[in-house]
Amino acid sequence: MTTTAAGNNIADRLIGARNERGIPSALFVEDVVKFVGADPVEGIIGALQQLFSKYKFMETNLTKTKQSLKVKIPDTKKDLAMLEHLISQRGKDENIETHFSLADNVFAKATIDAQVQTVCIWLGANVMVEYSFDEALSLLKNNLHTAEQRLEQIESDLGFLRDQIITTEVNMARIFNHDVRRRRQEKLQVKA
């Protein structure tokens, strides 16, 4: 933790309120001279770099989650469409023939008994659960809705994070440039 000459934590002066999901906002340094004061610039730049690293870490994690959801949502939609097809075939006496994927580009042929009233759904972590059609339909719709909401939140958070990253970079540049100007003036005063 970096502190100022007055004993204040520099990070507390750099971050503002948090968004709905707890991501802190970066405060723009309006008056660099007043902000730096008598504090060593290295400590302030270090605190800004640490804040920048945190934002980049959050951005990386959210981007990975976004990519995962972009794969999960179409799969869930496909599962939902298949379940709705099975429900529509429920009253008919004919069996359903289908091909299902075993691995990439490897499919197997299967015959589904139209009288079956349950489906098995992979929940993850090598867990499969048998559900009635209505329970499965409710579960898949809920999972799809939750995933789409989460994707919207992540996209919002990524936009918020980009703004905070830019603000932090601008603050670092302005404080660094202020320090360069201050050192030049000190050299000129020493020579004079």
Supply the range of the domain harboring residue 121.
Answer: 10-143+160-172
- In a domain? residue 189: no
Its pTM stands at 0.80
Looking up residue 131, the CATH number of its domain turns out to be: 1.10.287
pLDDT, tens digit only, all 192 positions of the chain: 455 544 457 888 899 999 999 999 999 999 999 999 888 899 999 999 999 999 999 999 999 999 999 999 999 999 999 999 888 888 787 888 888 888 889 999 988 887 888 999 988 888 999 999 999 999 999 999 999 999 999 999 999 999 999 999 999 999 999 999 998 998 888 876
For the chain, the domain total comes to 1
Specify if 185 maps to a domain. no
**DSSP-derived secondary structure for the chain:** --B-TTS-BHHHHHEEEE-TTSPEEEPP-S-HHHHHTTS-HHHHHHHHHHHHHHHHHHHHHHHHHHHHHHHHHHHHHHHHHHHHHHHHTTT--S-EEEEEEEETTEEEEEEE-TT--EEEEEEETTEEEEEEHHHHHHHHHHHHHHHHHHHHHHHHHHHHHHHHHHHHHHHHHHHHHHHHHHHHHHHHHHH-
